[in-house]
Amino acid sequence: MALTLLGGVFLCAEPDVVHAAGTPCSITPVLTEADLNTCIAEAPTDNSEFAITIGADFNITTQKNIVAGNSITVSSDAITRTLTRDTGFTGAFFSVPVASALTISNIVLDGNKLNVVANNSIVINSGSLTLGSGTVLQNNARNIYAGWGGGIQSSGTLKIIGSTISGNMANQGAGMYVTDGTVEIINSVISGNAASPNGGGGITMRNEPTKLTVSGTIIEGNTGNYGGGIWSVGTVEIVDSTVKGNIAAASGGGMIIGYAASKLTVTNTNIVGNVATTNGGGMVVDGAATISGSTISGNMASWGGGIYASQTPGMTAVAVSDTKISSNTAIDGGGIWIDHASLSNLTVDAGVMFSGNSASTFSRMRPADQALYDAQIFATSFSLPLPFNGYNNYDIRYESDLLTDICQRNSSLWADDTKCVAAPNTGLFGGQANNLAVSALSLLASSAIIAAIFIAPKLIAKRR
């Protein structure tokens, strides 16, 4: 499935039909679940490729167990085929153990969540799983207060290429929950997944040895308590992608990357319109983060509208280059929140443009921090129409230590303060108050949406 970039948003084209390679099953095409069972039983255990072609839509009533030594590709014939969880079945569609491989192409696996609350993911993988072009894992509601991984649980090798994981629910990692191994996501869509009561609406990577690589992909409209889009411990690389409209009831609307040993690289990526009730509308970062050639815009949180960096000195290092940080909103740190003691861990190069970020108060840089600013902050474009640099709380979180700092505390006195003579009383703070009121309403609306999404599984179970 190709993705086309239009106006900063990736659009999905029609999926490319992938035909299975290898020895074909004796039943081709497969028209029933019984046929599928027969084909899986036929598959050799010498790691040679074996092809199963699905030629009809049908229900799945039992878990399909791939065995060690299998290397199976399940694909459709000329059109996309749908396999749906039967109302009496709550297990996984496929289980892929160590030393086995499964590739699924151009198939929709539907969890039927309106009629079934499942006790397992759609696919369990501890071997090698590839979701190929045109594959969709959708609509699985996994025992939401106990289950991890609505779409996928993985502890092996996982590749997702030209696929969609959408509309799934779970306790953590509603789209996917990864405990070990590697995940590579290319030209795919992770959308509308909801994790409750924990986090990682789209993706959860649970342990530090894990590695997540995302390219050409949309992560959109996912929800969770922590990490609406992504909640990861380990190494994360995101390139040429969009993280958009994700919501966290607590922190990390777009993503949370932590802890101290974690590493995040974001390149040529849009992080836009994400919301967190507390920290990090766009992202929360512990560990080391490098952000380049990207846009962080229209995100919202109480602290760190765009980026919230760990307040513990020595744990976090954030380097931003050639990036637009704009129209983010917070109480403190509209663009970037970082503790004053950790300012030396933040580097912003000359190619970074701050614009339209907002916070509840404005601050002026302390003279004592001038040397630090000169050594670390090189951007020349800032949100405020004032002769002040990025340590202004609108762009980079900053609180003056001057108790009489009336520039920060009282806009009506600007014209009377010789230190602020270049800034007439333009009504900027009045506009800011209005912006914050709108932001507060938006956060309340977002919380209502989250509550509705998280309550839905209970209502489903009750109807059953």
Q: What is the pLDDT of residues 149-180, one digit of tens each?
A: 999 999 999 999 999 999 999 999 999 999 99
Alpha helix locations (H) across 291-421?
370-376, 406-409
403-413 exposure pattern, b = at least 16 Cβ within 10 A, e = fewer: eebebbeebee
Q: How far is CA 90 from the centre of its chain?
A: 27
Residue 424, pLDDT score: 33
Nearest 5°: the CA angle 263, 268, 271 is 75
Q: Give the amino acid at 171.
A: N
DSSP state string for 137-182:
EE--BB-TTT-B-SSEEESSEEEEES-EEES-EESB-SSEEESSSE
Q: Where are the domains of the chain?
A: 1-194+203-217, 234-464
Enter the tokens of residue 123. Answer: 């696919």
Residue 252, pLDDT score: 96
298 touches 273 (CB < 8 A): yes
Residue 399, pLDDT score: 75
Residue 209, pLDDT score: 72
| Segments in the chain below pLDDT 50 | 1-19, 402-406, 408-464
Residue 260, pLDDT score: 61
Could you tell me the pTM of the whole model? 0.85
137 touches 165 (CB < 8 A): yes
Enter the tokens of residue 295. Answer: 């846009």
Q: Which residues pair with 54 in a beta bridge?
A: 30, 76
Q: How far is CA 98 from the centre of its chain?
A: 28
